[in-house]
Amino acid sequence: MKLLAVTACTTGIAHTYMAAEAIEEVAKKKGYEVKVETRGSIGVENELTPEDIQSADAILIASDMAVPMERFMGKKLLYVPISDAIKDAEGLVEQAFKAPVYKGDKKDLVDEVAEIKEKKASERRGVYKHLLNGVSFMIPFVVAGGITIALSFIFGYNAFQNEGTLAYYLKAIGDAAFGLMVPILAGYIAYSIADRPGLAPGMVGGLIAVNLNAGFLGGLAAGFLAGYIVYAIKKYIKLPKTLQGIMPVLIIPVLSSLSVGLIMYYVIGIPVAALNTAMNNFLTGLSGANAVVLGLIIGLMMAVDMGGPINKAAYAFGTGTLAAGTGSAVMAAVMAAGMTPPLGLALATALFKNKFTAAESEAGKAAWILGASFITEGAIPFAAADPLRVIPSIMVGSAVTGALSMLFNCTLSVPHGGIFVLFAVGNIPGYLVSIIAGTIVTTLLIGMLKKPVVEK
């Protein structure tokens, strides 16, 4: 006769092993063959193999925890709390051989799968989980804003400048959605960290990041700041019972928004302003440099923070080189390099499906249009979710595009519009080659650097 057992207790320190010992001892005394799997804090030890289970006459499970059950289908099985095994191992061993056959049922399997999923989700803890939460709430704003702005370009790249026209309103709607993008990102990062009370300081901090031109990187900072500040307030500020009611409605919102806001202005705002000035000076100083190098640097700048201070500096520098009526090579490089990040990511979501979440894959489809319309922000959801891998990839791709555009001496005579303003480009074939080359470089780098998504 062969008995298999599984033991597990809630802390996994002592009873798991005492029960295992008791069962082994009793079984050996009775002359049974025995093997006990222990599932304690150390991990699973002495795990039962399919062969063990195949040859077993009965299974005894003494556990206060969920144990993988599917494998015992068709075996006599007795399931008891662990304390029973310590109290009366002898009786249980006998009972196990008379136990009914375990049939399992669908519900158990579904429950188990749900449990595994939940466990995986909780493992995906920390920074990454908070980022993904923020990004998933931000994506609709990016898509809505980007597509609406792109629609306004259909009426001409500068049609939105005429107040009261449809193009004007389309652009205004798109800007409204874009304006909410970073506050939502920051708000829901904080929400993920600190629950509901995190939302207000997160969104406030996010909007300050926008006002400071700190871009989405500033928004990320605001979100984490707000989340952890609220978390700390909840943990360390203890009010007497009678006053606890004012914590969520008064103390937490005011204190956290105030601290996040002040930190954003004093700690993030000043360096960002300094960065803006430094970038402008840097680019002005580069004006005389080798054109290809300048294109490369512009590409890097356009991609690094997508609408943040560095990107803005490069864009402003580009528009500054526009003189009425004539095309500018710098402006052409700026726009081309600003188009490749969303395009490269769109292509990557199509080619490397396992490396993106379902929400990201959907955003990838919209990113085609955003990229083609020179709305670099289309890349932000991807960059925010995985900055260390995505940002370098898009920077290199944009640098290639910027350098090639300069090399081919492409020019552009308008400040915005993407493919809608191709008529204003000098050397269109060269321009398209530059953009496609950068897009492919970005896609390949993402394919190499990004890890497959583990959830789901």
Q: Which stretch binds another protein (CB under 8 A): 16-24, 55-63, 208-216, 310-318?
A: 16-24
Site string for another protein, 38-77 (x = CB under 8 A): x-xxxx--------------------x-------------
136-195 positions binding another protein, by CB under 8 A: none
Q: Count of H helices and E strands in the chain?
A: 19, 7
Cβ proximity to another protein, 83 vs 277, nearer residue? 83
Residue from 3, 5, 20, 181 in contact with another protein (CB under 8 A): 20
Cβ proximity to another protein, 103 vs 119, nearer residue? 119
Q: Which stretch binds another protein (CB under 8 A): 7-15, 183-191, 241-249, 335-343?
A: 7-15
Q: Which stretch binds another protein (CB under 8 A): 33-41, 339-347, 349-357, 397-405?
A: 33-41
| Other C-beta atoms lying within 10 Å of the C-beta of residue 148 | 19
As given in the structure block, the two tokens for residue 4 are 């298999």
Give rounded-to-5 percent helix, strand, coil for the chain. Answer: 70, 10, 20
Q: Which stretch binds another protein (CB under 8 A): 10-18, 51-59, 111-119, 183-191?
A: 10-18
Residue 76 has φ and ψ, to the nearest 5°, of -65, 130
72-111 positions binding another protein, by CB under 8 A: 81, 83, 86-88
- Rounded Cα gap, residues 168 and 172, in angstroms: 6
- In angstroms, what CA-CA distances link 3 with 61, 360, 411? 11, 50, 80
- Rounded Cα gap, residues 139 and 446, in angstroms: 19
- In angstroms, what CA-CA distances link 350 with 67, 258, 364, 378, 446? 39, 43, 8, 15, 12
Range 174-177, long-range pairs (CB < 8 A, 24+ positions)? 174/144, 174/145, 174/146, 174/147, 174/148, 174/149, 174/150, 175/145, 175/149, 176/145, 177/141, 177/142, 177/144, 177/145, 177/148
Which has the closest alpha carbon to 323: 426, 405, 413?
413
Cβ proximity to another protein, 16 vs 311, nearer residue? 16
Cβ proximity to another protein, 45 vs 105, nearer residue? 45
Cβ proximity to another protein, 14 vs 116, nearer residue? 14
252-271 positions binding another protein, by CB under 8 A: none
Contact call for residues 371 and 407 (beta carbons, < 8 A): no
Q: Which of 8, 9, 268, 437 is catalytic?
A: 9
Buried b (16+ CB within 10 A) or exposed e, 188-219: bbbbbbbeebbbbbbbbbbbbbbebbbbbbbb
Q: Which stretch binds another protein (CB under 8 A): 4-12, 187-195, 291-299, 321-329?
A: 4-12
Total residues contacting another protein by CB under 8 A comes to: 24
Q: Least distance (Å) from another protein to the CB of residue 12?
A: 8
Cβ proximity to another protein, 7 vs 152, nearer residue? 7
Cβ proximity to another protein, 19 vs 347, nearer residue? 19
Q: Least distance (Å) from another protein to the CB of residue 17?
A: 4
13 binds another protein (CB under 8 A): yes
Contact call for residues 218 and 187 (beta carbons, < 8 A): no
Q: Least distance (Å) from another protein to the CB of residue 47?
A: 15
Which has the closest alpha carbon to 363: 391, 392, 332, 385?
385
Contact call for residues 239 and 246 (beta carbons, < 8 A): yes
Residue from 3, 4, 15, 201 in contact with another protein (CB under 8 A): 15
Is residue 410 part of the annotated active site? The answer reads: no
Residue from 1, 14, 110, 121 in contact with another protein (CB under 8 A): 14
* Residues contributing to the site for another protein (CB under 8 A): 10-18, 20-22, 25, 38, 40-43, 64, 81, 83, 86-88
Query: What are the catalytic residues?
Result: 9
